Chains A and B, each alone.
Chain A
């Protein structure tokens, strides 16, 4: 125990709010950013040395590119959100940089010739993502402004969710209909942006309705049962999630949205009964849909017995279902990596084939960086989530709290759903690992998400205006009710 034990301090639980004159921590952020840039640069050189025995020619431009992104991000935060959380930007930069390295490594794969140019494109998407982060921080002076757009957000989210189903616009890629085609630009996953819009809508809606939802209820077997009419909103969200599952055959997105709503509902009302309801409803929904949707059934089978699915795929069994060996290939990649991995560039994770650099990118980390590397990546995600939850705790307004917990909860669920799927913990769903996986929509949307969290944390940590001419000001600590 250190000598500066502050556990008796009245500010203990609210330390992130900070006392007046709390340091902005911008220099901490800058120092961490240096690491976040240097580590991926070394990893990049490592890949080149392993694959071609030479330092890759693109090293300089890659290093400069990533450095520029980090630098711009840092300067914008320093100028427009000086009290923002100092960890989020470096963590996101590090994950983004490592993701770029692995995507570039998979670009070199002979087995995956079709990915040849993914890394430069991903760097461009990352730049667009950081630009969006800058836009959020520059133009969104106060996150509470978003509250005004509660219902517009809802409309926007629904529109984004429906887009992939519009004939001629949507694209069915390997069973999941979650993409839209933009002629000349490629494909876009609107669900990634819908995630943020929905969080804004839920936060705004629940802030208004929380008292009604929390208080008007009957007690039954230790649980507070909501009134029938208060069940309306959760039923609507549930139905929408089911519709996504049925029409876009996307278990991941469906789970993500419903989970995010249940989390926010629970935080807003402090009623455990909502969690129970939420779990029951998602179980009923998932089982119900799985009973008639072959795409979901295949995913569940592949999860329960990946080896059988591998063999069916090898034998080319034609029973109307697309059998995939990918789940087994991913497990082999992880297993073959072992504790320390083969080293970057020296694995065979490209055997996974399609989506090796997007949905399955964690398997490459597993094989080439081993258990140690994957645990580090998972802990980096854990830290981002923790900083997000901390921001929610520190936020001074309920809207900010709800929005922060919604965004971090969704981020956490997404990491869990995709990493758990690739590692065979839960059935595989087509989703991207934030910041790391190849995909423009994902990386841009997640930078925007970090932007909003930075804005909320800046508001939360910003010192209250000091009372003028009070000689004791330096000594005064401000305690706010949580």
Chain B
């Protein structure tokens, strides 16, 4: 009987071996995946086990941490001026998880990041409690306030993004309507869940939790003409902003019998680039796009950052400029219609690249990460994304955009003693343009030395306003001016 007994012994050994292999699989190979699974409550317990580090703007924390009771979470996130900063911070909720900076920099904020390992070990030996590190942002509190309050006064939906052109630092990132992340930071099934439910899109058509500055794309309308003008200058079909262009008015789009209309009675026939931008001539820029063709336009749009997600490190949706379009579609796309769609961040990047003499810097909002003891862990260095324009062409485009503000549709953005360049946009949307248009304004301010401290993009969508009243110059330009002023004032 001993032969089968030995075989059974081997069989039992294999059973134990199978268990050992499985154990290694779940506790070693898959351990990290299981440990950090977002549904694993330990992740949340850990996140709130010690006072969470803060997100900092201009030396002041915009977040906080308070002791909470009644559950296995020791601390709860608090926010100062939550609705204003929500597009930057995201939220960290005991019940509903974390997003944006709160999620991306969770390791630093909880203090569990590997880069804090040495420090944590030291703390453990000295018996100190673990603490979270801080996330220092690039934002400018005054600019953010001007942006948020501007949108709030306007009352409609909208977003503002302000960048520092020379570095790509995000100075303002506002979205309206917004939400207060404090309202559902806990895990009470009554108050927190109720607040959360009320903010969901299905219960609130205004969708306050949508980060319009980064995650919503709008047809950019006439503001896109800046990109088209850049393409014309770079390609060399027109080199002089004040030279006549070959632009019939009315212009019938190539391959069609359709006239591309201009808004109102404006001098667009053979207008110079400067005049065409000043009056926002659809015919001139439509024809430029059609003449350059889809490929060259797409190439320029991509250099400005279109068709690619941006990570600031919070993800921004990819803006769209289409491929494989016929000449009339390319013409429409070149004046910011048809499929063209851009996030407010994208249009701020366009203004910022022009203002920075043609150099596009990668937009970012985390300046540095600090240990709990405020020692720097990492610092973000500005990074060049691309060079859509040569410095000469950029300066030509600047002078054209400055004319728009001095004499054209962007007059509302004028600031005393500061040179401002801009471009308005009014984008139609909906079937047969039946819905209310979006008002756009992109601009930059320029100091005396020619360097630019700030570039802004503002979009306002207003369901209630009368169509004619919405124009980039009327609704959006004043907000842009206030934001630029706030940045300039804070530098003094």
Residues of A within 8 A of B (CB): 13, 110-111, 263, 266-268, 270, 307, 310-311, 328, 331-332, 334-339, 348, 351, 366, 370-371, 374-375, 378-379, 381-382, 385-386, 389, 392-393, 398, 401-402, 405, 408-409, 412-413, 415-416, 419-420, 423-425, 482
Contact = CB atoms under 8 A, between A and B. Distances in A.
Interface residues of B, number: 36
A339 B22 contact: no
A338 B35 contact: yes
Contacts, number: 135
A416 B5 contact: no
B266 interface: no
A378 B16 contact: yes
A63 to B, nearest CB: 29
Interface in B34-75: 34-35, 37, 39-42, 45, 72
B15 A416 contact: yes
Contact of B42 (A336, A385, A386, A412): A336
B69 to A, nearest CB: 12
B31 A405 contact: no
Contacts of B16: 378-379, 381-382, 385, 412, 415-416
Q: Looking at chain B's contact residues, is the secondary structure mostly helix, strand, loop, or mixed?
A: helix
B74 to A, nearest CB: 13
Interface stretch (B6-14, B178-186, B412-420, B451-459): B6-14
Contacts of A266: 4, 7-8
A310 B27 CA distance: 20
Given A334-B34, A339-B28, A375 B8 contact: no
Contacts of B2: 13, 393, 482
Nearest to A351: B41
A345 B19 CA distance: 24
B5 A336 contact: no
Contact of B40 (A336, A378, A381, A416): A336
B129 interface: no
A348 B26 contact: no
A385 B8 CA distance: 11
Contact of A366 (B11, B27, B41): B27
A392 B22 CA distance: 28
Nearest to B4: A267
B8 A335 contact: no
A386 B14 CA distance: 12
A176 to B, nearest CB: 22
A375 B16 CA distance: 10
Nearest to B22: A425
B33 interface: yes
Given A336-B40, A401-B5, A413-B15, A423 B23 contact: yes
B465 interface: no
A378 to B, nearest CB: 5
Contact of B22 (A335, A348, A382, A423): A423
A307 B34 CA distance: 11
Contact of A416 (B19, B26, B32): B19
B8 A409 contact: yes
A430 B19 CA distance: 17
